[in-house]
Amino acid sequence: MSTEEQAGFPRPSDLELAGHPQAELHERAFSAAREHFGGQVFVRGVVEVSNYCRQNCVYCGMRRDNRALDRFRANPARIAEMIIECRPESITDLNIQAGEDPVAVREVVLPLVRVLRRETNLGISVCVGSLKHELYDALKAAGASIYILKFETADPATYSEVQAPGTLTERTDNLRYLNASGWFVSSGFIAGLPGQTLEQMLHNLRFATDLPLDGCSVSPFIPGDETPLSKARSAGVDLTLNSMAFLRLLKPDWVIPAVSALNLAEPGSGYRRGLRTGANLVTINLTPSELRDDYLLYKRDRYIMTEELILRAIEAEGLRPSQVGLAQHYLRRKPQLAVA
Ligand code: SAH
């Protein structure tokens, strides 16, 4: 019997569960994560190194048509020094994120990955968009091992309407290439894009579970400042959490992050509710404050997750930070992918 048959694939109305049945669903998802990961949560840092972007996704504040942003590329030596000298003790991994900016990949991300590989034992993930195969290969050779590339929505028509990068087929071809070339791959989709139906949300779940992934996120749609969707309605946090719970039940061994946008969808408690729904990865924002303001995914007013907030949330949910890093964890599961 496949995991899907054991868990039972949800019906559209299941995504709207509320009250007692919802609490029960979330408890089942939390238990599945606990059984699989022993109550341990991966703690990573994120640093955002460029907000130049050649894409024009209608939901994202970094889109190229947004002329109101001060565009920046970080100085790799400065970021490396900050990470090497003053990173929070609890992080085992670092995620390097940027707009889709191949120049920054060459001039900022690659040198940064090389220094960090040499000077630290951090696991390194990158979330830098759809690139040519040779750039993926160069990032891996430099020492990154986890690639995060969200498919955003599994509905091809919506994908093209929201002007997500390239086509959905190209995005999934990229995911398959990354998997086949030895990366650990995480993807993700946006819950509650304007006009999205429950059937489409279920299709996102099925699409994700059919891809060769090691992890997947569900992010609530947040109407981005300075975007064509700035007046649209935010996704409901419950739709997001219910989707996360089903994803956990369908894929008990996947790494599912509690994304920072949960705190915008439900200020103060969204993040903790993510952990209570079976998420097992949290992120501390390490972007220098003078760059952060112009790294605009959602709102200019961001909810910045500090080490203190993260550790408090983990403890409050009866969980604990994982001693084993995320990249290390993946490698234990697929030792054949160890770099010689
Ligand atoms: N350029 C890179 C990564 C940066 S954007 C890439 O293309 O992968 C990171 C993610 O933020 C996107 O993949 C998208 O899923 C999410 N995102 C951006 N704006 C959003 C919004 N308004 N609401 C929800 N998610 C959003």
What's the gap in Å between 207 CA and the centre of ligand 1? 18
What's the gap in Å between 38 CA and the centre of ligand 1? 30
| pLDDT for position 100 | 98
What's the gap in Å between 219 CA and the centre of ligand 1? 9
**DSSP per residue over 55-99, as a string?**
---TT-TT-TT-TTSPP-B--HHHHHHHHHHH--TT--EEEEEES
Nearest CA to ligand 1 atom 13: 150
Residue that the structure tokens 């054949």 belong to: 336
**Residue 258 reports pLDDT greater than 70:** yes
**Residue 48 reports pLDDT greater than 70:** yes
What's the gap in Å between 52 CA and the centre of ligand 1? 13
CA distance linking residue 143 with residue 139, whole number of Å: 7
**Cβ of residue 257 lying under 6 Å from some atom of ligand 1:** no
Nearest CA to ligand 1 atom 1: 99
The mean pLDDT value of the chain amounts to 94
| pLDDT for position 2 | 47
Q: How confident is the model at residue 126 (pLDDT cuts 50, 70, 90)?
A: very high
Q: What is the mean pLDDT of residues 70-99?
A: 96
**Cβ of residue 100 lying under 6 Å from some atom of ligand 1:** yes
**Residue 255 reports pLDDT greater than 50:** yes
What's the gap in Å between 293 CA and the centre of ligand 1? 16
Q: What is the mean pLDDT of residues 324-333?
A: 96
Closest CA to 133 of 173, 81, 92: 173
CA distance linking residue 3 with residue 89, whole number of Å: 36
